Amino acid sequence: MYQGELTEPTSEEKYAAILHASGLLKSDEHDKKQLKNLYQRYILARKVNLDSGEWVADDVQTQGCKKLAPEHDPAKIHQRCTIADVYLVKDKSNKIQQIILPVFGEGAKSMMYAFLALDPDGRTVKNLYYYQQRETPFLGARVEDESWRKQWPGKKVVDNNWMPALRITQEKPENIDEYTVDGISGATLTSNGVERSINYWTGEQGYGRFLQRITRGPDIIVP
């Protein structure tokens, strides 16, 4: 049972979450002017066609949303839209340093919304930042805790064949490989939801074709 409905984040909240995911914003204390200046200087918002993996015009109106059958909806997002957002993070010389993908899916108690920051190789995690969820306090809600999030940088979300490969385990193995993340203690359903969400959005129904395409040459992601 969901713990209430989540409201659409304001532009300020969205900007802050993207900047947190990118590492450009370190503190929760900020003002609108600071957010706007950082966002406009370092973030480039683009749109991509998930079916082709190619860029589309920023002013495209049709999203092409269709209801998902349960067997094709592991993240339980209910519908898939062909057109999706991508955020490119630039450095001071305008070189692309990160690719940020919006990801969401069902947890134990709520839909969970995050931004997944990847290296330009399309496989390696730079950061995972959850900004909206209503999971159980001190349990599933720890998806937002730095103590859990700090293990994500360097993890791989797809294997060498571009198949989603992320695994979140509750088993506390002695050796955790580059595809495995230690789950949140006491929050198995939330951890499973994170795993399903990431694997859905990095797979063929999500950004999979786009992630493969950007590795063909740096010119593909040049602003």
Q: Would you call 209 helix, strand, or coil by DSSP?
A: helix
**Residue 3 pLDDT level (bands cut at 50, 70, 90):** very low
The pLDDT, as a whole number, for residue 1 is 34
16-45 pLDDT, tens per residue? 999 999 999 988 777 888 889 999 999 999
% of the chain residues with pLDDT over 90: 77
Q: Using DSSP bridges, classify how beta strands 79-81 and 83-90 pair: parallel, antiparallel or unpaired.
A: unpaired
196-206 pLDDT, tens per residue? 999 999 999 99
The span from the CA of 126 to the CA of 206, in Å, is 19
The span from the CA of 173 to the CA of 80, in Å, is 35
Q: Reply yes or no on whether the pLDDT at 175 is more than 90.
A: no
43-100 pLDDT, tens per residue? 999 999 999 999 999 888 778 899 999 999 999 999 999 999 999 999 999 999 999 9
The span from the CA of 209 to the CA of 43, in Å, is 22
For every residue of 12-64, DSSP letters joined together read: HHHHHHHHHHHTS---S---HHHHHHHHHHHEEEEEEETTTTEEE-TT-----
**Residue 149 pLDDT level (bands cut at 50, 70, 90):** very high
